[in-house]
Amino acid sequence: MLEAKNNKILGFGEIMLRLTPSNNQRIMQVNSFDATYGGGEANVVCSLANFGHKTKYITKLPNNSLGDKVIRDLKSYNVDTSNILQGDGRLGIYFLEIGHGLRSTEVIYDRKYSAISMANKNEFNIEKMLEDVRLVHLSGITPALSKELYDLTIEIAKFAKNTGILVSLDSNYRAKLWSLESAKEFLEEILPYVDIAFLGNLDMVNILKYESKKIEYEESLKDLYEKLFKKYPNLKYAACTKRSVHSINNNSLKGYLFDKESLHVSNEYNFDILDRVGGGDAYTAGILHGILENLSSKETVEFGTCASVLKHSIKGDINLVDMGSVSSLIEEGLQNIKR
């Protein structure tokens, strides 16, 4: 367990109910759904709580048993929920048909009109939200939900920047929520306030419209990151992963971390998959952990990648592994049975 910290890591964003047919079945086959609760930013925060960090979460939930259930779940991870709002509106839902072999996983989003997406930004007291906070983690999903949330996200980032709180941002582009153009506008508006950016090759090429003439993947990525850091000298770190999809049940993953100077690359891991959702959030949490714990960039990218690899072995969106499990994978590799 880590030393107690004085400051908290704050996440802000939507939490949804995920409904999944069991055993890789299709919706038409089942008469029940597995139910878990998660969301990009919450997954990151809960994973950091599992690594021993002090955490806090802000969202708006419906004022009913479903909202209460989300709060209970967050509390069980030791996340401070005291500033979460409850009020009118619904809980966003998504249905996940997990594929198998060469059948793709399919998502049906039913997240419109959720309590948070219909909230007014004035319901949130930024100053109070950021009290005792050391790092705030934001993503490109929340601003895509409404104009109010767009503005609120920018304001949070600005306020944090001004008061010395670290800002982490995961691009997390969702084509169903907004256009590449809107995402570009958002990224360009927020990046001046960001310290740690989770942006990959495709984000820089497709959204930000950067170009690189390098052909080899890593050279190209480094080239793009250098352009990004040149434009936004406030950036301290940028990170992403490269995934190779052999089958829905088997992928390989490699992590990248750019620290203004070098592009650090993790080992590549091949692994079977139990649940792929939240793999990226687990990587984000691992990278933030390394940065906050002052690990070297090399150690940090390895930690992030192994954290993400382990997430793929956990059902649900949230990475239910502690720091020791990640370290053990890095240092000793796979152990058959830990008796």
Interaction residues for its own copies, span 304-323 (CB under 8 A): 309-310, 312-316, 320-321
Query: How far apart, in whole angstroms, are the C-alpha atoms of residue 73 and residue 19?
Result: 16
* Window 196 to 215, contacts with its own copies (CB under 8 A): none
Which residue of 9, 10, 15, 19 would you call a contact of its own copies, by CB under 8 A? 19
Q: Could you say whether residue 73 binds its own copies (CB under 8 A)?
A: yes
Which residue of 45, 91, 144, 265 would you call a contact of its own copies, by CB under 8 A? 91
Residue with smaller CB distance to its own copies, 93 or 235:
93
Q: Which range, of 7-15, 58-66, 185-193, 222-230, touches its own copies by CB under 8 A?
A: 58-66
Q: Could you say whether residue 4 binds its own copies (CB under 8 A)?
A: no
Which residue of 12, 51, 57, 77 would you call a contact of its own copies, by CB under 8 A? 77
Q: Which range, of 59-67, 123-131, 161-169, 230-238, touches its own copies by CB under 8 A?
A: 59-67
Can you give the C-alpha Rg of the chain in angstroms? 19
Q: Which range, of 64-72, 144-152, 189-197, 218-226, touches its own copies by CB under 8 A?
A: 64-72
Closest approach of Cβ 234 to its own copies, in Å? 31
Query: How far apart, in whole angstroms, are the C-alpha atoms of residue 90 and residue 118?
Result: 9
How is residue 120 written in tokens?
């007014």
Residue with smaller CB distance to its own copies, 84 or 191:
84
Closest approach of Cβ 17 to its own copies, in Å? 9
Q: Could you say whether residue 328 binds its own copies (CB under 8 A)?
A: yes
* Window 102 to 121, contacts with its own copies (CB under 8 A): 102-110, 112-113
Compute φ and ψ for 254, nearest 5 degrees: -140, 135
Q: In b/e form, how buried is each residue of 229-248, taking b as 16+ CB within 10 angstroms?
A: beebeebbbbbbbbeeeeeb
How is residue 19 written in tokens?
């409904």
Which residue of 2, 35, 132, 217 would you call a contact of its own copies, by CB under 8 A? 35
The residue count for binding its own copies (CB under 8 A) is: 81
Q: How many CA atoms lie within 13 A of 149 on its CB side?
A: 22
Query: How far apart, in whole angstroms, are the C-alpha atoms of residue 172 and residue 281?
Result: 10
Query: How far apart, in whole angstroms, are the C-alpha atoms of residue 40 and residue 229?
Result: 25
- Report the chain's terminal Cα–Cα distance, integer Å: 21
* Window 213 to 272, contacts with its own copies (CB under 8 A): 243, 245, 247-251, 269, 271-272
Pairing of strands 269-272, 93-97: unpaired
Reading phi first (left if > 0) and then psi (alpha if -120 to 50, else beta), residue 132 is in left
* Window 164 to 183, contacts with its own copies (CB under 8 A): 174-176
SS3 288: helix
Closest approach of Cβ 32 to its own copies, in Å? 5
